[in-house]
């Protein structure tokens, strides 16, 4: 077992938007930061539909080459019928490129990035990394888990595997570009929804269901794609699903931090339980985690858990409590009756006034 350094102030596990954002801010204040990323290259095989609200530019830089297409808002379809159009501008990103850009910015600020290394164990301040078949130990005063929905650090904090949906997605060629993100609900897709997010000539076409219904996901996505061909939204089904993954849907994890460990982004359950949107929240929670660590470095570790938890709760607590309540009701009352299903989705999807007025 090799020791590569004893002296990191912060070890960040995961170079997604949460990890790279946090690492950049931490390194900018002069802290010694290591980012450990299991992928060989940051941004490889991103598992994402890439849609973000325009408001993300308040928190993170977006260059024009990071944006595949600008969208005017969200159109919602229930049982195949158009049910709502909401103006809420956003972008479909080239996430792979953007994730690389965020990591490069962290490195430019002074962070040390190791790719192709997987954090496999944490014991106090020591993290064991698996790197090319060899184990290496690194130590950090703080360990920040930005390691996604199956987070090692979240488990270390005592959190159970969170509630998740599972998604599959493929990129298909559009008949013509769409100006709105399209979201579809159908009684066959328990606990989730389907989407078409246009990125110029192609679109990310995906479907997510509650993990208890994983078995039929591939077949459901194929059926959905066929309806899009029939409706002349996409040209043809070419190839099969190319990406997918778990999307946290249980809200914030119960324990966000102790005196040395913190979690941010999907690892912290910062993904919106109803929409599955987690990119902007990863950036914001990464910033909040960095702020909490910087304060703890200056003022002592006693208040770290309290101050970080308060900051995350202030940002997401109420919003996510409402979303968890709507999702639980929806899943409990799930029905194959079309009229009842429409009413149920109207009460439990963010595009409808009924969602907010219960």
Residues that bind ligand FAD (CB under 6 A): 13-19, 36-39, 47-52, 118-119, 146-148, 152, 167, 169, 206, 243-245, 247, 265-267, 271, 276-279, 282
Helix (H) or strand (E) holding 69: strand 67-78
- Residues with Cβ within 8 Å of 136's Cβ and at least 6 positions away in sequence, in order, are 1, 2, 3, 4, 117, 128, 129
Give 239's DSSP letter: S
Q: Which of 143/152 has CB closer to ligand FAD? A: 152
Q: Could you tell me the sign of the dihedral formed by the alpha carbons of 99, 104, 105, 109, in that order? A: positive
How far apart are CB 146 and ligand FAD at their closest, in Å?
Answer: 5
Contact between 227 and 81 under an 8 Å Cβ cutoff? The reply is no
How far apart are CB 148 and ligand FAD at their closest, in Å?
Answer: 3
Q: Which of 250/278 has CB closer to ligand FAD? A: 278
Give 302's DSSP letter: G
How far apart are CB 17 and ligand FAD at their closest, in Å?
Answer: 4
CA pair distance 47, 70, nearest whole angstrom: 20
How far apart are CB 14 and ligand FAD at their closest, in Å?
Answer: 3
Q: Which of 98/341 has CB closer to ligand FAD? A: 98
Reduce the DSSP state of residue 332 to 3 states and report it. helix
CA pair distance 103, 24, nearest whole angstrom: 8
Contact between 318 and 53 under an 8 Å Cβ cutoff? The reply is no
How far apart are CB 79 and ligand FAD at their closest, in Å?
Answer: 23
**Sole residue written with tokens 């109420």:** 318
Phi, psi of 339 (to 5 degrees): -65, -45
Retrieve residue 199's tokens: 């990125």
How far apart are CB 264 and ligand FAD at their closest, in Å?
Answer: 7
Q: Which of 239/336 has CB closer to ligand FAD? A: 239
How far apart are CB 43 and ligand FAD at their closest, in Å?
Answer: 8
Q: Which of 280/341 has CB closer to ligand FAD? A: 280
Q: Which of 55/335 has CB closer to ligand FAD? A: 55
Contact between 214 and 220 under an 8 Å Cβ cutoff? The reply is no
Contact between 127 and 138 under an 8 Å Cβ cutoff? The reply is yes
How far apart are CB 268 and ligand FAD at their closest, in Å?
Answer: 8
Give 245's DSSP letter: E
Q: Which of 50/66 has CB closer to ligand FAD? A: 50
Q: Which of 50/186 has CB closer to ligand FAD? A: 50
Q: What is the dihedral of CA 32, 38, 39, 41, to 10 degrees?
A: 20
Q: Which of 270/341 has CB closer to ligand FAD? A: 270
Helix (H) or strand (E) holding 193: strand 193-199
How far apart are CB 358 and ligand FAD at their closest, in Å?
Answer: 25
- Radius of gyration (C-alpha) of the chain in whole angstroms: 21
């Amino acid at each position: 077992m090799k020791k590569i350094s004893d002296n990191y102030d912060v070890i960040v596990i995961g170079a997604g938007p949460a990890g790279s954002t946090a690492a950049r801010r931490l390194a900018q204040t002069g802290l010694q930061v290591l980012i450990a990323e299991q992928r060989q290259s940051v941004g490889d095989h991103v598992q994402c539909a890439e849609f973000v609200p325009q408001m993300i530019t308040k928190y993170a830089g977006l260059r024009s080459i990071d944006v595949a297409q600008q969208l005017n808002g969200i159109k919602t379809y229930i049982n195949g019928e158009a049910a709502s159009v909401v103006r809420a501008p956003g972008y479909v990103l080239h996430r792979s490129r953007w994730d690389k850009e965020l990591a490069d910015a962290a490195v430019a600020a002074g962070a040390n990035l190791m790719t192709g290394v997987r954090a496999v164990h944490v014991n106090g301040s020591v993290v064991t990394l698996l790197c090319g078949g060899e184990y290496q130990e690194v130590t950090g005063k703080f360990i920040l888990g930005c390691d996604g929905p199956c987070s090692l650090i979240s488990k270390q904090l005592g959190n159970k595997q969170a509630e998740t949906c599972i998604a599959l997605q493929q990129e298909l060629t559009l008949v013509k570009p769409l100006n709105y993100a399209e979201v579809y609900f159908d009684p066959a897709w328990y606990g989730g929804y389907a989407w078409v997010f246009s990125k110029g000539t192609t679109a990310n076409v995906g479907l997510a269901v509650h993990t208890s219904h994983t078995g039929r996901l591939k077949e459901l996505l194929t059926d959905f794609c066929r309806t899009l061909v029939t409706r002349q939204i996409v040209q043809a089904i070419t190839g099969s699903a190319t990406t997918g993954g778990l999307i946290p849907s249980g809200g914030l994890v119960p324990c966000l931090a102790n005196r040395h460990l913190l979690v941010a982004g999907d690892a912290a359950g910062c993904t919106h339980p109803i929409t599955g949107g987690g990119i902007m929240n990863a950036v914001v929670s990464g910033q909040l985690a960095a702020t909490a660590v910087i304060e703890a470095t200056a003022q002592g570790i006693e208040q770290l858990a309290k101050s970080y938890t308060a900051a995350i709760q202030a940002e997401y607590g109420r919003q996510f409590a409402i979303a968890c309540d709507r999702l639980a009701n929806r899943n409990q009352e799930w029905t194959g009756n079309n009229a009842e299903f429409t009413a149920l989705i109207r009460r439990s999807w963010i595009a409808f006034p009924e969602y907010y007025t219960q």
